[in-house]
Structure 1
Amino acid sequence: MVQRIQSLWLLFAGICGFTTLKLPFYIGSKGNTPAEDFTAVSSTYLMILAVAVAVVALIDIFLYKNRGLQLKLGLAGFAGSILYLGLAFSKTKQYDTGGIALTSVFSFAIPVFYLLAIRGIYKDEKLVKSADRLR
């Protein structure tokens, strides 16, 4: 049984991060070549960033005793996921024609899950501080 909802949000962010390695973000073609899938594996920087964002989310789950560090890593993961989206959009400019794939939802879900987890961690920290004040 999961005691903290932010652990689920971080788990979902990690799963979405790893699915971006296989599922396409963009489907497009260059010139006369047939359409190809653009995934995180298509670019070295995107692959490293996607794996880093996913691993940070999974490591962040186990830092529940140190909420300050968990919050900082959550913010870093959120910033990395925004950077990932920006880099992915800049890489799609190399195609002449094409469109965003339906499976790009996983890429857009990562920062949302991070924000939900950060909100939960912040609420926990606030609750603990208010309980310490009452002692």
Structure 2
Amino acid sequence: MIQRKQSLWLLLAAAFDATTFRFPIYSGDWMKDTTPAAIDLNANTTIWFTILTVLVGGLAFVNIFLFKNRKMQLRLCFLGIFITLALLALYFLEIKNFYSGNIALWAIFYVGALIFFFLAIRGIRHDQKLIKSLDRLR
């Protein structure tokens, strides 16, 4: 399980997803009732961000232990990518509600989780090719 590269990538995706609860993707002033308020946009901002972030992190972590079922692992990685892209789209839609601000350096964690899912898919496909080539030799 740990010897496989995709297990490391999925663990890093889960870890990066967990850090999004602490670090913001965007910091700025949000106009609410004509008074600006300084707000950091992170996974704790709304209930939907929290639910989707927990779902992506849990999906990445559980996916580590599905190493015997590569097809299911591949499907769950694609689902993780889809949910992560949806989550990033929701963040950027929420950024439009801000009066002023800037993207935080910690936004790398949000994109990093997406990249690690892609790397895990690459590792799973490599394993599938290796198993097919070994089956041909038998």
Q: TM-score range by the shorter chain?
A: over 0.9
Q: CA deviation at 1:34?
A: 4.1
Give the one of 95, 100, 103 matched to 1:97.
Answer: 100
Aligned partners of 2:83, 2:37: CA distance in 1, in Å? 32
| Runs of 4+ more than 6 Å apart | none
Alignment length (residue pairs): 135
Which protein has the bigger strand share? Answer: 2
2:80 corresponds to 1:77: yes
2:120 corresponds to 1:117: yes
2:7 corresponds to 1:3: no
Which runs of no fewer than 5 residues in structure 1 stay unpaired? Answer: none
Give the one of 65, 68, 74 matched to 1:65.
Answer: 68
| Residue type at the aligned position of 1:23 | F
CA RMSD of aligned residues (A): 1.3
Which protein has the bigger helix share? Answer: 1
Q: Secondary structure at the match of 1:96?
A: strand
Q: Secondary structure at the match of 2:44?
A: helix
Aligned partners of 1:57, 1:85: CA distance in 2, in Å? 17
2:12 corresponds to 1:12: yes
Of all paired residues, the percent bearing the same amino acid is 43
- Cα deviation digits, residues 6-43 of structure 1 (max 9, x gap): 10100000011111112111101024424221111101
Give the one of 80, 87, 90 matched to 1:87.
Answer: 90
Question: So what's the TM-score if we normalise by structure 2?
Answer: 0.93
- Cα deviation digits, residues 40-79 of structure 1 (max 9, x gap): 1101111111110000000000000111111111111111
Which runs of no fewer than 5 residues in structure 2 stay unpaired? Answer: none
Q: Secondary structure at the match of 1:48?
A: helix
Aligned partners of 1:34, 1:55: CA distance in 2, in Å? 32
- Cα deviation digits, residues 82-118 of structure 1 (max 9, x gap): 1111111111111010011111110010110000000
2:50 corresponds to 1:47: yes
